[in-house]
């Protein structure tokens, strides 16, 4: 069965750590693909604050 696992972090290093931890838990032959995205948004509440969202979706076999 094909599954997906979604990750969303405020910092790039946190995303990397979360993904590496998950990948270490599944067999290499179950890994299919990773989709990666960055979203950037200026905050409406605080002046000159930019917010980042680093996200990824891992497709794998269960």
Tokens encoding 57: 């979706």
Residue located via tokens 């409406």: 44
How is the chain split into domains, by residue range? 2-61
Q: Is residue 41 very low, low, confident or very high in pLDDT (cuts 50, 70, 90)?
A: confident
The maximal CA–CA distance of the chain, rounded, in angstroms, is 47
Residue located via tokens 């076999």: 61
| Mean pLDDT score of the chain | 93
Integer Cα distance of 27 and 43 in angstroms: 40
Evaluate if residue 24 carries a pLDDT over 80: yes
Q: Is residue 49 very low, low, confident or very high in pLDDT (cuts 50, 70, 90)?
A: confident
Which candidate, 48, 52, 27, places its Cα nearest to that of 39? 52
């Amino acid at each position: 069965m094909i599954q997906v696992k979604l990750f969303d972090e405020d910092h790039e290093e946190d995303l990397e750590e979360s993904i590496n931890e998950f990948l270490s838990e599944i067999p290499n032959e179950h890994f299919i693909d990773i989709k990666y995205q960055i979203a950037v948004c200026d905050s409406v509440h605080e002046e000159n604050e930019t917010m980042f969202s680093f996200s990824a979706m891992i497709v794998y076999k269960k």
